[in-house]
């Protein structure tokens, strides 16, 4: 009788853990997709997306060229 209860409890706990893991994985996947979408649009949060790096390089290049003159 007690063994059956323990088995059921263990099975329930395992099922709950599996469900939690699946939910966490799904949330992580959604977050990655959202970041990917933002990068495609050209603004990726702190990094500023793909475009900002190029602009920054151009800015630095202009400063360097002005100093050379």
C-alpha–C-alpha distance, residues 17 and 31, integer Å: 21
- Identify the pLDDT of residue 64: 75
Residue 53 contacts residue 61 (beta carbons within 8 Å): no
* pTM listed for this prediction: 0.43
Token pair, residue 60, equals 């630095």
Token pair, residue 20, equals 């939690």
3-state SS, residue 42: coil
Residue 2 gets which letter from DSSP? H
The per-residue pLDDT for range 24-36, each reduced to its tens digit, is 999 999 999 988 8
The per-residue pLDDT for range 38-69, each reduced to its tens digit, is 777 765 455 555 555 667 788 888 777 776 65
C-alpha–C-alpha distance, residues 8 and 18, integer Å: 15
């Amino acid at each position: 009788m007690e063994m059956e209860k323990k088995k059921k409890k263990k099975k329930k706990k395992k099922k709950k853990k599996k469900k939690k893991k699946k939910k966490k994985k799904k949330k992580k996947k959604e977050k990655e997709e959202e970041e990917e979408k933002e990068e495609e649009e050209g603004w990726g949060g702190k990094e500023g997306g793909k475009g900002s790096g190029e602009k920054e390089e151009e800015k630095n290049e202009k400063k360097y060229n002005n100093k050379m003159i």
